[in-house]
């Protein structure tokens, strides 16, 4: 559920028009009012039983449901007086139902029985009113209120299933036999939607939040609520149609409950394990990204000081030259200031590129290596043509990787090869791929100037640059390559035994489904 719809359900009303929860409560009260006014006031009997042959919603039941709806809408208001009135309504409902039931038990007057709700309806409505009462008085006890909601809603849900499956009251001896279809539906609706999602409880926010807890609750609660009711409905069908004994039905329900409970716990453990692995993977990715950015921040702080110092130094020299009338000297110093200033955007752009490579979420797909190499080479087409360079893919393979990040990796490696080429020979770049038992080993080598012996150990650190590099980079490319490879679960290194240029190897995990080359 999106944040917008979540807020629509869970935020307290701050405007004049209704929120989503108020519309739910208003709909429940409106249906009860329609039965009360239309069914009993204007004599439209169809409104009282809804479906021919089904039990009716009694007069007092409709009035009580209207009062519950009104009390709930008042509980959503921030005004203290509105909450006090909601408490009074809930308390009056509980007291009146208890008194009316006691009066009928003492007198057994037929006129009282005709309007009094059925016993099951009284129990469910009193539990609903108790939940509303606690909602206003002790909203910091969501577990207790949630249990009361379930106690009130479960018989009503069972009644709805029973009436719809058997098209009427299946068992005259059942305490639920007098509860109407719309009565049961409104009670379940009130408890499972209105009370459970009340913003004071936090139950709805816990269920709808995008956390691990919310995802588990959204998956488990419908099963926990629906399956036992379905099992009871199946037992009821077996008793009516096949005449099963109570002992056989007890054994069936016990078996179903145990099997469902074990399967649910096992399934939730698998879901939790999978989500925990995803969370661990993301935490490792974030730790790598933070470590990389921390390294870059310290290196960037050092490297950014150098252009700033140069600007200040040459600025002072230019002032002295202008004071002495040395225009040519001032121009030289101005050029030096300009050159130092041009280094700053490069460092900033490098920081952005490195940050993206460290924080980008990996989106895996099966991609041919040839497509990645072709896409990366196309980005350097002009420079390759100017350098008369050639890229050769010796072995193709289908990699499980993020194609965008992998293209960026090869783009950086090809760019380094072009910038550090030898001017006395034609540039040749070779890409090879070899399958090992659990990984792919990929190598990119060129015939350029290669790496200095002391640089190989620190080449993948941010802002590391070699003294004999012919390019004008800022030392970000290889650092970004390392973060990309690490985000895929691989490692990258420089082959120091390769003397005729530079050779960089990296690995990518291979799944068992990957074809072997």
Quote the Cα angle for 421-422-423, to 5°. Answer: 115
pLDDT bucket at 74, cuts 50 / 70 / 90: very high
CB atoms within 10 A of CB 87: 19
CB-based contacts of 411: which residues, under 8 Å, 6+ apart? 376, 379, 380
d(CA 475, CA 464) in angstroms, rounded, equals 5
298 occurs within a structural domain: no
- CA-wise closest residue to 291 among 493, 483, 491: 483
| Single residue among 209, 241, 258 that ends a domain in this structure | 209
pLDDT bucket at 291, cuts 50 / 70 / 90: low
437 occurs within a structural domain: yes
d(CA 71, CA 64) in angstroms, rounded, equals 10
Q: Are 419 and 470 within 8 A, CB to CB? A: yes
Using the 8-state DSSP alphabet, how is residue 35 labeled? I
Instruction: Read off φ and ψ for residue 12, nearest 5 degrees.
Output: -70, 145
CB-based contacts of 25: which residues, under 8 Å, 6+ apart? 69, 72, 73, 76, 190, 194
**Domain count within the chain:** 2
d(CA 49, CA 59) in angstroms, rounded, equals 12
Residue 359 burial by Cβ neighbours in a 10 Å radius (0-12, 13-18, 19+):
middle
d(CA 152, CA 96) in angstroms, rounded, equals 18
- State the residue range of the domain holding 9: 3-209
288 occurs within a structural domain: no
Measure CA 451 to chain center: 45
For 255-404, list the strands marked E by DSSP. Answer: 365-368, 390-393, 398-401
Q: Are 82 and 74 within 8 A, CB to CB? A: yes
Does residue 6 have a pLDDT over 80?
Answer: no
Helix axes 181-189, 119-137, angle to 10 degrees: 20
Query: Which is higher by pLDDT, 357 or 253?
Result: 253
* Across 35-52, average pLDDT: 90
165 occurs within a structural domain: yes
- CA-wise closest residue to 351 among 311, 307, 301, 309: 301
Query: 253-289: per-residue pLDDT in tens?
Result: 777 777 777 887 787 778 778 877 777 777 776 776 6
| Single residue among 209, 224, 248 that ends a domain in this structure | 209
Quote the Cα angle for 244-124-230, to 5°. Answer: 35
- CA-wise closest residue to 477 among 329, 332, 376, 328: 376
d(CA 341, CA 314) in angstroms, rounded, equals 11
271 occurs within a structural domain: no
* Across 463-472, average pLDDT: 49
pLDDT bucket at 350, cuts 50 / 70 / 90: low
d(CA 123, CA 185) in angstroms, rounded, equals 15
pTM of the predicted protein model: 0.52
* Across 174-200, average pLDDT: 89
242 occurs within a structural domain: no
**Would you state the structure tokens that stand for residue 503, as one six-digit string?**
């050779």
485 occurs within a structural domain: yes
> What is the pLDDT, as a whole number, of residue 471?
46
| Single residue among 177, 209, 241 that ends a domain in this structure | 209
Task: Kindly report the CATH number assigned to the domain that includes residue 476.
Answer: 3.30.565.10
> What is the pLDDT, as a whole number, of residue 34?
94
294 occurs within a structural domain: no
d(CA 373, CA 354) in angstroms, rounded, equals 21
In this structure, of 177-186, 298-307, 371-380, the range with the lowest mean pLDDT score is 298-307
């Amino acid at each position: 559920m999106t944040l917008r719809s979540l807020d629509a359900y869970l935020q307290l009303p701050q405007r004049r028009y209704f929120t989503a929860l108020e519309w739910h409560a208003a709909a429940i009260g409106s249906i009860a009012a329609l039965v009360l006014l239309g069914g009993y006031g204007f004599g439209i009997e169809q409104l009282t039983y809804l479906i021919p042959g089904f039990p009716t919603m009694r007069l007092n039941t409709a009035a009580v449901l209207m009062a519950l709806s009104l009390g709930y809408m008042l509980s959503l208001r921030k005004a203290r007086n509105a909450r006090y009135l909601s408490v009074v309504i809930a308390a009056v409902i509980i007291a009146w139902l208890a008194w009316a039931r006691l009066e009928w038990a003492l007198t057994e007057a037929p006129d009282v029985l005709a309007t009094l709700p059925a016993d099951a309806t009284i129990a469910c409505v009193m539990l609903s009113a108790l939940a509303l009462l606690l909602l206003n008085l002790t909203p910091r006890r969501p577990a207790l209120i949630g249990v009361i909601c379930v106690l009130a809603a479960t018989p009503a849900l069972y009644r709805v299933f029973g009436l719809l499956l058997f098209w009427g009251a299946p068992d005259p001896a059942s305490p639920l036999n007098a509860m109407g279809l719309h009565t049961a539906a409104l009670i379940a609706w009130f408890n499972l939607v209105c009370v459970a999602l009340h913003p004071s409880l936090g139950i709805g926010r816990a269920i709808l939040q995008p956390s691990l807890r919310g995802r588990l609750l959204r998956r488990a609660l419908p099963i926990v609520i629906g399956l036992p009711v379905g099992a009871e409905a199946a037992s009821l069908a077996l008793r009516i149609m096949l005449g099963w004994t109570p002992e056989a039905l007890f054994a069936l329900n016990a078996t179903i409950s145990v099997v469902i409970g074990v399967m649910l716990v096992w399934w939730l453990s698998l879901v939790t394990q999978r989500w925990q692995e995803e969370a661990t993977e993301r935490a490792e990715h974030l730790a790598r990204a933070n470590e990389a950015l921390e390294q870059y921040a310290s290196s960037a702080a050092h490297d950014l000081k150098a252009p700033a110092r140069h600007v200040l130094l040459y600025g002072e020299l230019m002032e002295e030259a202008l004071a002495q009338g040395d225009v040519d000297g001032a121009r030289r110093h101005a050029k030096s200031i300009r050159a130092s200033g041009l280094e700053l955007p490069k460092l900033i752009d490098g920081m952005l590129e490195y940050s993206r490579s460290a924080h980008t979420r990996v989106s895996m797909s099966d991609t041919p290596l040839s497509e990645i190499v072709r896409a990366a080479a196309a980005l350097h087409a002009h420079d390759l043509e100017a350098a008369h360079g050639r890229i050769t893919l010796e072995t193709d393979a289908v990699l499980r990787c993020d194609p965008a990040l992998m293209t960026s990796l090869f783009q950086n490696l090809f760019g380094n090869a072009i910038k550090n080429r030898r001017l006395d020979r034609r540039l040749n770049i070779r890409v090879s791929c070899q399958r090992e038992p659990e990984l792919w080993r990929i190598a990119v080598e060129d015939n350029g100037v290669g790496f200095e012996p002391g640089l190989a150990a620190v080449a993948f650190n941010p802002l590391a640059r070699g003294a004999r590099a012919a390019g004008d980079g800022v030392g970000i490319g290889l650092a970004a390559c390392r973060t990309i490879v690490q985000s895929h679960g691989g490692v990258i290194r420089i082959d120091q035994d390769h003397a005729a240029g530079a050779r960089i190897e990296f690995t990518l995990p291979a799944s068992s489904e990957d074809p072997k080359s």
